[in-house]
Amino acid sequence: MKRVFLDTNILLDLVQRRQHLNEAATILQYAYEGKIEVAASTLSFANIAYILRKLPQELFYQLMSRLSEDIPMLPLTPTDMRNAIGNPVKDFEDMLQYQCALAAGCDVIVTNNKKDFHEFCRIPFLTAEEFLLQFDYEG
């Protein structure tokens, strides 16, 4: 089964009902159906919490609770941090995400912000739309 790492922006598409909501929801549906395994880093959850911090407290905790129930969390380890520090790049946060995905044995990173991953990523990285097209093609 394909192990799919979801970047922060994919999770934000879900919780903020952004432009790529349908693609993100379809990926999550594939996970519910057991067709793929999805995960995201604890860093993504912290980033999302920061972005959503101005929501009413009850809504904030409902969204965070639902998200953490639906998407397994991968730890960001000290080794991931050291590896990221040892590989200076333009976007340190993307390098942290990559190190987490790599350590977890993910087959692909799904992100709608591919530009910074070109610099360093050795595993496939696709937009949500590209992933769904490839997944539908491969079955």
For residue range 15-25, list pLDDT tens digits in order. Answer: 988 888 999 99
Please state the CATH superfamily assignment of the domain spanning residues 2-138 in this structure: 5'-nuclease (3.40.50.1010)
CA dist 116 and 1 (Å) reads 27
What pLDDT, on a 0 to 100 scale, did the predictor assign at position 28? 95
C-beta separation of 101 from 73 below 8 A? no
Name the phi and psi angles at 103, rounded to 5: -65, -30
Q: What is the mean pLDDT of the chain?
A: 93
Structural domain boundaries in the chain: 2-138
- Kindly report the number of other CB atoms within 10 A of residue 99's CB atom: 23
111 three-state secondary structure? coil
Q: In this structure, what token pair is assigned to residue 19?
A: 């432009």
- Over residues 50-107, the pLDDT tens digits come to 999 999 999 999 999 999 999 999 999 999 999 999 988 889 999 999 999 999 999 9
What pLDDT, on a 0 to 100 scale, did the predictor assign at position 111? 96
> What radius of gyration, in Å, describes the C-alpha atoms of the chain?
15
At residue 133, does pLDDT exceed 60? Answer: yes
What is the pTM (predicted TM-score) of this model? 0.93
Q: What is the mean pLDDT of residues 97-120?
A: 93
DSSP β-ladder status, 73-74 and 36-41: parallel
